[in-house]
Amino acid sequence: MNDTVLVMTDATDYTADLIVADLQARGMRVARLDPGAGPVRMQATLAHGRWRNTVGDEHRVIDLGEVVSVLWRWPSSPTGHPAIDDPARRAWAAREDSEAMLGVLKSLPVRWINHPDRVARANSKPGQLVTAAKCGLTVPDTIVTTSGEAAHRWARGREVLFKAFHAQGADEDAMVIATRVDPAKLPDTLGAACIFQEVIPGTPVRLTMIGTQAFAVAITGTSDLDWRPVQHRLAFTPTDVPPDVLAGVRQFMDCYRLEYGALDFISTADDAWTFLEVNPTGMYGFVEIQSGLSITEAIADRLCEPVHSPIRPSSQVGR
């Protein structure tokens, strides 16, 4: 039997390339699948409570019985078989392919970084803030509203930023960044639900968690609220995580049952950290390259650790 690490992502995910290379250097067998890369191919048979045989995309198939862990990153969705000409029928076929392939894969009793159901739950920004607060982390004052007038009333006496629930904008090339706003200039009706937060002065920190391991860097070189567009010219310096913050973060990760998370904080002058958000499938390669932290090695180590018991049913966060 050939133990296989299954990597679910698209061809443009260069962060996954780092992990694949590390695993292959260890002699691990790695299979990389993307459900949206051509027709889905499946022959899955239920035997003794586990799916066996094969699933695959246009390029390869994998033996389900050989999968020991899954790295879930950015897989694209099935698009339906190209032989189906009618758009409505093809869309229906794509949904069937998605339910079939993902349903089979998500039931595999193996280590997931991260299981897609957990990713979906953890991606909710309002939910993240509530969970972080329950775990003892400091969070910024926040309002979610469709009313510019309500945002104006809420913002009196403080500096405010706007951020998007989804960073990707109206097209694939548009990224919605966090920006300062003047609430007095907002229209009465915003046209979409918006999230506004109090600006926390301080140094941005990116904390990458793998299991209970913490890899933190202070980010310097810009005064912009959102450092992502200029990350290529910034400094990422390893920094210690305050013990109370680390305890809260580990509890936060456990609430969502995440194996991996890219968390953003602001560190103030007195070393108090304010939680901003977590991305359960966030990139980290730029942090590793510029800081020298061994994040890829830690992820690969985790993927090689066996799981001997089935995945427990998901429970509600905070319960």
Residue 105: both structure tokens together:
């894969």
User: Do 250 and 220 share a structural domain?
Assistant: yes
- Residue 268 resides in a domain: yes
- Residue 316 falls within a domain, yes or no? no
* Assigned token pair, 254: 């456990």
Which regions of the chain are under pLDDT 50? 309-319
Longest dimension (CA), the chain: 65
Write down the residue that tokens 């730029």 correspond to. 286
251 assigned to some structural domain: yes
Question: Which two tokens mark 85?
Answer: 């000409």
d(CA 210, CA 205): 16
Question: CA-CA distance, 90 to 88, in Å (whole number)?
Answer: 5
Give the tens place of pLDDT for each residue, 83-125.
999 999 999 999 999 999 999 999 999 999 999 999 999 999 9
Q: Which domain holds residue 80?
A: 4-109
Phi, psi for 191 (deg, rounded to 5) = 90, -20
User: Model confidence over 46-58: pLDDT tens digits?
Assistant: 999 999 999 998 8
- Classify residue 152: in a domain, yes or no: yes
Residues 6+ apart with CB under 8 A from 267: 202, 203, 204, 205, 218, 239, 273
- DSSP state for residue 285 in the 8-state scheme: H
DSSP state of 19: H
- Which residues, including other chains, have CB under 8 Å from residue 171's CB and lie 6 or more apart? none
Predicted confidence at residue 317, as pLDDT, reads 38
Q: Number of structural domains, the chain?
A: 3
Say yes or no: 163 and 233 in one domain.
no
The closest alpha carbon to 19, from 156, 210, 183, belongs to 210
